[in-house]
Amino acid sequence: MTRETIVKGGSVEAAEETRREEAALRPRWLREVIGQKPVVERLQIAINACRKLQEPLGHMLFDGPPGLGKTTFATVLPNELGAPLQITSGPALTKPADLLPYLTNAKEGSFIFIDEIHRTPRIVEEFLYSAMEDFRVGIPIGEGLNARTVWMKLNRFTLIGATTRSGMLTGPMRDRFKHHEHLEFYQPDELAQIVTINAGKLRTSIRPEAALELAQRSRGTPRIAIARLWWARHFAASESDGALTLDVTRAALAKAEVDAAGLDKQDRRYLETLIGVFGGGPTGVEALAATMSIATDTLTDEVEPFLLREQFIVRTPRGRQATPRAYQHLGRALSAANAAPVDSTQPRQLFE
């Protein structure tokens, strides 16, 4: 197909655009967002106020663990207000000059989204202060005694920041965001709705009990739920008739080594190392990382958060320690030093 065909053949281009839109799994409108109900309600109020007052939305900061929808909200808000959106990330902004094109190209009422804003260098963060507060930027001209600063007026825009570590932002930066929303983990019924809707977008038949099974093993995180839906869909297409029943879904998750509690192979290896090698702890994360031949950052950022939240481990002044739930989950007997023993002859079934 030539370029002329694509441009002139409006129906062909429209059909392709429709296909891309149907395949897109991310919500496009606030009404399509499932979960995070208090956040959605506050955002709807802010949007309604901006429409009535005919002014841009205030700068907004979204924080929370990865995969909970920070980027989704950042793309939904411009759609709701019919405004353009520019997207960048903190690590990509190494100097103020990297930020200037986004600021100068921002139209009145448009949005600039900075993902991982906590990784923005301090010099860039300080450059943003006047842009966010006064909608102007100072551009240095010349050097030495002849140096001067020329102030450039900007169109009023809305900055949206997303971060997993809001504590790494400086106080002055946080204070310039008029809205600060923290995203919470999702409930299984909310994730089941997300799985069902996305299965429909993927033209995959899924039973309600299969959607709930995927939801219960997805750590309360939509990104993980959708990733596991993709795997289950491929498994069903390869090993079955393509439909996601409860049995097919459980078989797919077992093949991916995701157990009934949502733990994957690396999570269980962490617990096995902590219990089997270090006697349940307490032990330092560096010792665990060295024993498992895994980077310490990988354990602290990817493995431990879920194990801590689900109370499989605890952090003590002397290091990480396994809880009775971890012993029970692996079917291990507790030592007298850690807790009362459990019946190790009846280990919990990991893969149902």
pLDDT, tens digit only, all 352 positions of the chain: 433 333 333 444 544 544 454 446 788 899 888 989 999 999 999 999 989 988 888 999 999 888 898 999 999 999 999 999 999 999 999 988 889 899 988 899 899 999 999 999 998 888 888 888 889 887 777 666 666 777 888 899 999 999 988 888 888 888 889 899 999 999 999 999 999 999 988 888 999 999 999 999 998 899 999 999 999 999 999 988 888 999 999 999 999 998 888 888 889 999 999 998 888 888 888 989 998 888 888 888 888 888 888 889 898 888 899 999 989 888 877 765 554 334 434 444 454 4
pTM for this one? 0.78
Q: Is 104 helix (H, G, I), strand (E, B) or coil?
A: helix
Per annotation, catalytic residue among 164, 245, 291, 296: 164
Residue 277, exposed/middle/buried by CB under 10 A (0-12, 13-18, 19+)? Answer: middle
241 among known catalytic residues: no
- Is residue 63 flagged as an active site residue? no
Q: Which is it for the CA torsion 256, 260, 266, 272, positive or negative?
A: negative
Told to judge if 75 belongs to the known catalytic residues of this protein, a careful annotator would answer: no
Give the pLDDT confidence score for residue 3 in this predicted structure. Answer: 37
207, 223, 269, 348: the catalytic one is 223
Domains and CATH numbers, the chain: 33-182 (3.40.50.300), 188-255 (1.10.8.60), 265-330 (1.10.10.10)
Concerning whether 343 is annotated as a catalytic residue, the answer is no
Per-residue model confidence (pLDDT) at position 344: 39
Please give the pLDDT value at position 43: 93
The yes-or-no answer on residue 223 being catalytic is yes
Q: Enumerate residues 6+ apart whose C-beta is below 8 A from 347.
A: 330, 331
